Amino acid sequence: MKKEILIVAASDGNNLKLANTLLDVSKDYDANFEVLKLSDFNLPIYTSSEEKNGTPKDAIALTDKFMKADGFIVIAPEYNGSVPPILINSISWISRSGNDNWRDAFNSKPVVLATHSGGGGQHVLMAMQEQFSFIGCTIIGRKLHTHYQKQLNFDSAKATIEQLVRLAKA
Ligand SMILES: Cc1cc2nc3c(=O)[nH]c(=O)nc-3n(C[C@H](O)[C@H](O)[C@H](O)COP(=O)(O)O)c2cc1C
């Protein structure tokens, strides 16, 4: 069975472009890669109201995608020195989607962290490292970062994706 890797884009501008560039790079590797745009999922802001209002069907669909993946590339812009709200909101919904085994969406799965940000993106990378390791992912040490004056380093991208595919378990 082929390994399934989700390339998660947390914004629709340069970060989505970076996701599609990494999808091109990934064609050289023996795994199925898919770009997932978080904005395609219609999720209200998470406010602990699921017992009263129910869980949105898009939260269940998003959780299912994460459950089925064997590894991730998560690409998010830096917002105010941290992660964008859509990423936190998505993780919150996944953790409360009604499935008691929600940790299976993340546990022991390798993740590459990447960003296109206004500056170096070091703060969002650190914030994602903290969060994804807390929810059980294995973080790949090498990060991918681009900004308006810095293009993607393709050698770095290839080495990182190779490591991700090696660590992912189908
Ligand atoms: C609300 C907001 C906050 C931002 N804060 C930061 C920041 O703290 N550090 C930074 O380097 N860039 C910051 N930026 C710039 C974005 O990281 C940058 O424009 C990025 O390319 C946006 O992603 P996108 O092109 O995929 O939409 C901020 C942008 C917005 C809209």
Q: Give 85 Cα–ligand 1 centroid separation in angstroms.
A: 12
Which tens digit of pLDDT belongs to each residue from 63-86? 999 999 999 999 999 999 999 999
Q: Is residue 87 within 6 Å of ligand 1 at its C-beta?
A: no
At 101 the pLDDT is 83
Architecture of the CATH domain 4-167: 3-Layer(aba) Sandwich (3.40)
Is the whole-model pTM more than 0.95? yes
What's the mean pLDDT in 153-158?
Answer: 98
Residue nearest to atom 4 of ligand 1 (CA): 79
Q: Which atom of ligand 1 is nearest to the CA of 147?
A: 21
Atom of ligand 1 nearest to the CA of 9: 26
For the record, the structure tokens of 91 come out as 């993780």
Q: What is d(CA 6, CA 53) in angstroms, rounded to the nearest whole number? A: 29
Alpha-carbon span 125 to 144, nearest angstrom: 9
pLDDT, tens only, 110-142: 999 999 999 999 999 999 999 999 999 999 999
pLDDT for the residue numbered 127: 98
pLDDT digits (tens, 9 = 90+) for 3-22: 999 999 999 999 999 999 99
Phi, psi angle pair for 73, to nearest 5°: -115, 120
Count of CB atoms situated within 10 Å of the CB of 114? 27
Segment holding 128, helix H or strand E: helix 122-134
Residue 14 beta carbon below 6 angstroms from any ligand 1 atom: yes
